[in-house]
Homo-oligomer: A and B are copies of this chain.
């Protein structure tokens, strides 16, 4: 039974990737798990285990080739080329989104259920299935009101999109065969508010 990768591990992978890419051009050619672990405040064994799962083996006393490791991680999680996406709903998060994701995500079309916002650059929701048939779409990005959330998610699933990134204020519950990530600020606000209210814990209160 092929061992799969946990979401926690996947999150760390992207952290490794971002760290490796942030290293200057003239930094040493090789990197060790210990170096990565120290930079990211993680355990070295954990980093080693993560890397062993998805990258080619390291070399004793040498570590891994930085460029090769970047390549291995990107290939594994599919970030070696831009991710294709469609957006359903409001684009108010888009400036910040682009600021964060840069050219890793290409939003190839925008859809809306609201006839008023439909126009040259926004299509009617009913056109989604046809569009996805013609254009390979990896991720559906949602930013809709609560009454449109499940209809929009269902339509994405029917159109063959199996990964949903939900920026709507209401979280989307999990559905069979579809991976969902909710970009919901309330839980995080709750954590920060809680610690702002209650005297700070002595030892690291977890950074989640």
Contacts and interface: CB of A to CB of B under 8 A. Distances in A.
Contacts of A206: 6-7
B194 A5 contact: yes
Contact of A167 (B17, B77, B96, B139): B96
Interface in A93-127: 93, 95-97, 99-101, 104-105
A173 interface: yes
A194 B77 CA distance: 4
Contacts of A151: none
Nearest to A138: B196
A95 B92 contact: yes
Q: Give the bracket for the number of chain A residues in contact with chain B.
A: 35 or more
A76 interface: yes
A194 B78 contact: yes
A184 B100 contact: yes
A90 B99 CA distance: 10
Main secondary structure of the interface of A (DSSP, over half): mixed
Contacts of A174: 41, 204, 207
B173 A192 contact: no
Interface stretch (A8-16, A28-36, A43-51): A8-16
B100 A186 contact: yes
A132 B8 CA distance: 36
A79 B179 CA distance: 30
A192 B196 contact: no
A52 interface: no
10 contacts: A7-B206, A14-B189, A77-B194, A96-B167, A100-B185, A104-B189, A105-B189, A164-B192, A180-B207, A182-B207
Given A165-B192, A179-B192, 18 more contacts: A7-B205, A10-B190, A10-B191, A14-B190, A18-B170, A22-B170, A40-B173, A79-B193, A92-B99, A100-B169, A100-B185, A101-B186, A138-B196, A179-B200, A181-B188, A181-B208, A182-B207, A183-B188
